[in-house]
Structure 1
Amino acid sequence: MSRWDLCLFSVTPSASLLSRCVSRGAVSQEDIDSTSSNGSPAFSPHLYRAEERTRTQRKLEELQLQMEMLRAEKWSADVTHHVHLAGRFQSLQMFCVHLQDLLKEQNNLRQKLMKPLGHTHLPVHAHLHRSLVDTLQSLLSFMDTLEDTLNSVRNIPTASERLTQLDSSLVQILAQVARVENLTNQVLQWKEVRSSVLSDSSA
């Protein structure tokens, strides 16, 4: 297509001017076609330069648009890189867990505060008040003696200490048994000697 052909989507001022000249008969279409086919700007140098400037401006705008698109693609590629996304996702996950904990604590506190005070205590009938007072007194006395009881329980010998005592007692008993057996043997020997002496003396 020659440089003088009309564009389908936009009409330059020079093309509009030539169209009006042709419609009014100031110039014929054949003259315009012959001039544009020669490739020479002699027909109208100013018109040719104006059209060249328009085309250059349009190309410059297209290049600038492409540059902006490339910058946007580069920025989006850097932002969507897995290294950056992993760190951001981890931070976001920690923040979400923290918010969930705060919400749980607030919900528990809200439920405790909204719960009526009367529902937190069991109703006690009038004929059970005396028993309740006695029970509370027993509970207080038990709490007072609980520490002493725990200390006394801690001072009770353990199973290992008891086993050690049993072993030592068994050793002592075995020693006593051996001693008793020795004494028994001595007594028996003494009896035999005595009986033999008595039999000799009677004979």
Structure 2
Amino acid sequence: MAEANPWVPASEPKAAGLLLGHFVASGLVTQEMLNISKKSTSCFVNFSRLQQITDIQAEIYQKNLEIELLRLEKDAADVVHPSFLAQKCHTLQSMNNHLEAVLKEKRSLRQRLLKPMCQENLPIEAVYHRYMVHLLELAVTFIERLEDHLEIIRNVPHLDENLKKMRRAQRVDLSRTVP
């Protein structure tokens, strides 16, 4: 017996017809697409293409996520690089040794600090001299500018009043220049 054509309407809808009807109702496929597919290739080729497109889009999304992960790893690589960590570890160990030495001499340091300073200096390891020089430069600059900063802070509450006075003076000045 010859097989019935699935495109010819029958008294009872077949499974393929029900599936296609569901796809048309969901908007996945239009009736025009089905009409075109009758003439050329099977409509299931279009479905397989649609599935391939979906798979490719998912793969692109996955690759984009992998690229983003690699970028983050690259950005963080210098922070967690072994040589960088070894350098930080060495610096921390050096500071720790210095602090241990200070704690061992705590009693003598306390006694020295209680005595009045008479041209006595606290010894600083040579490694930290450059930091102290930089710190002293910053302190001198801060002290030089301290009076200016304090004056600015004192004038902040009067700022609105001073601005009003300046505007009034500008208006008066403008009125005098206009003939």
TM-score for both structures, normalised by structure 2:
0.29
TM-score for both structures, normalised by structure 1:
0.27
